Amino acid sequence: MIYAIIGLIFGIVGGVLTPGFIPKIYAPYFSVALMAGLDTAFGGLRAAMEGEYDNQVFISGFVVNILLAVFFCYAGIKMDIDFYLIVILVLGMRIFNNLAIIRRLYLKK
Amino acid sequence: MMTVKNKHTRILIFLVCIILGYMITMQLRSHNQYQNLAIQRAEDLTVRLKEVQADRDKLAKELDEYRAGRISGAAQKEMDDLKARAGETEMEGKGIIFTLDDSKQAAKAGENKNLYIIHDEDLLRVVNELRAAGAEAISLNGQRLIGSSEIRCVGPTVLVNERRLAAPFVISAIGNPQTLDSSLKLRGGVIENFKFWGIRADVVQSDKVRVPAFKGNRTFEFAKPVSEEEKKEAGRPATVDEGTSENKPGADAEKSEGRQASQKNAGGAQ
């Protein structure tokens, strides 16, 4: 857990120190990727609390989810359908779901 | 609470969290940046506009200096005279200041609201009346009226010298104050007509009326001046006359239309 928090702090500091920003055309991809990343992180946390944590599943999930989300977003923009809304909706639901389970597991302890 | 089994896993979680933290901050920063961008763009454009305006003024001044440097004496005097006649210099003198504002009266049921608003036609009539009474220089809301100045309704505003003006309209005219004043106050004249519709018209005679110079651009795209020799070559003035007479019917039609319209207005006033 301590590693995760230190990692987050490092990341935030790195983000603040980085000059420049994301061009506006890539903004939807980035937000979708962020959602996918958050979803995987919470999924990993939940798995860890359930005692089913698998490193390979976690890492592959992190990478593949982000790529898939970005791909969906890209396809949506190409086809002029707001796919990224669906991606954000689904990922948001999953995050809530995971958080609910984490909460329950935590309370049960 | 979370038991991490080996070193490998810890490093990977550490990396993933770094990426997540990085993404979150970048996202937040970018979002702020987009909002600032819109404002920045407007600011940039304002600054640029000011620069360009300053440049333009500087160049215009330089041009004036060069012109002043090249000609002198009698030619200079004649040029000043011509410029004054063309409306390129600011003028001052006795005259009147005529203020017009939209009617505050509410339109009666079933009546056209437009009758209570000042239109291009009203302004044209005033200007025409002033010209007829010998006004030497006229400006409308700071726009000098010259030969090519238009007065035309565009939506709720009036276009003069390609600039939009809105009520209240202030017409400054240099000329004999008495004559100008009485030309507007004629029985059945413009002011009486305005009064009927509640359009507020106010004439003030003044010893010092200032009429600004014409600031717009004038270029001849189609017209070319005819030199003396060309005139002689063309010989008979009849050809010249033909050319102008061709234009006449249209102009006449316009005039009579205007007259009809004004008669209509006068009829409404009685």
- Tell me if B138 sits within 8 A of B145, measured CB to CB: yes
Over residues B193-197, the mean pLDDT reads 83
| Rounded-to-integer distance, Cα B162 and Cα B170, Å | 17
In chain A, the percentage of residues whose pLDDT exceeds 70 is 99
Q: Let me know if residue A2 belongs to a domain.
A: no
Q: Let me know if residue A8 belongs to a domain.
A: no
A-proximal residues of B, 29-58, CB under 8 Å: 29-30, 33-34
Q: Let me know if residue A91 belongs to a domain.
A: yes
B-proximal residues of A, 5-64, CB under 8 Å: 5-12, 14-16, 18, 21-22, 24, 27, 30-31, 33-34, 37-38, 40-41, 44-45, 48-49, 55, 58-59, 62
Over residues B155-176, the mean pLDDT reads 88
In this predicted model, what pLDDT tens digit does every residue of B91-106 receive, in sequence order?
999 999 999 888 777 7
Q: Let me know if residue A89 belongs to a domain.
A: yes
In this predicted model, what pLDDT tens digit does every residue of B201-222 receive, in sequence order?
889 998 999 999 988 877 888 8
Q: Let me know if residue A9 belongs to a domain.
A: no
Q: What angle do CA B78, B84, B87 make, to 5 degrees?
A: 140
Q: Strand, helix or coil at A20?
A: coil
Q: Strand, helix or coil at B211?
A: strand
Number of domains in chain A: 1
Q: Let me know if residue A101 belongs to a domain.
A: yes
CATH number of B83-217+257-269: 3.30.70.1880
Residue to test with chain A: of B30, B34, B36, most A Cβ within 10 A:
B30
**A13-22, B131-140, B228-237: the lowest-pLDDT one:** B228-237
Query: What confidence score (pLDDT) does residue A100 get?
Result: 92
- Which of B2, B12, B23 faces A37 most closely, judged by CB atoms? B23
**A38-42, B10-14, B46-50: the lowest-pLDDT one:** B10-14
Is residue A101 within 8 angstroms of chain B, CB to CB?
no
Instruction: Enumerate the residues of chain B whose CB falls inside 8 A of the CB of residue A16.
Output: 25, 29
**How many CB atoms lie under 10 A from the CB of residue B11?**
12
In this predicted model, what pLDDT tens digit does every residue of A11-22 receive, in sequence order?
888 888 887 777
| Rounded-to-integer distance, Cα B183 and Cα B162, Å | 28
Please indicate whether, in this complex, the C-beta atoms of B18 and A58 are within 8 angstroms of each other: no
Q: Which residues contact B200 (CB under 8 A, 6 or more apart)?
A: B99, B100, B101, B102, B103, B104, B194
Q: Let me know if residue A4 belongs to a domain.
A: no
